[in-house]
Amino acid sequence: MALEARLKEVLIVEDEDSLRALFASSIKQAGYSVSQVRLAADALAVLKRKTPDVILLDAVMPPGQMSGMELLARLRENEVWANVPVIIVSGIGDLINRDAVTRLNVRAVLTKPIAVSELESTIKRILAHAPAG
């Protein structure tokens, strides 16, 4: 009996409910498994249970909350999550520090608003170049 191939897992970290739902729906339709959280701190709880194949991360979170960039720095400090591909999707994508993006090994920065087709093709491209896990 052949083993079923595991669906690639995408973790969405997005505080805007409607966008998170749109991203989740389109990513599921593209054939991926999806976990989703509203806040960066919530992503840490998910990561303690399972490591996704790629993380879709909003850089800006509500005031008083851990930012997406803070979460990214924590990911890179943890050997289990250090190499998980991260795609930043943000309304301030054009303003994000490119040195930090390079240093923190971000695979792509997409600026909102974004077409779901661009999001899907970016995920597909990054996962095609990720080591098999």
Q: Which are the contacts of 114, defined by CB distance < 8 A and separation ≥ 6?
A: 89
Each residue's pLDDT tens digit, 22-49: 999 999 999 999 999 999 999 999 999 9
Q: What is the pTM of this model?
A: 0.90
Phi, psi of 63 (to 5 degrees): -55, 140
- Opening angle at CA 56, ends 54 and 58, nearest 5: 150
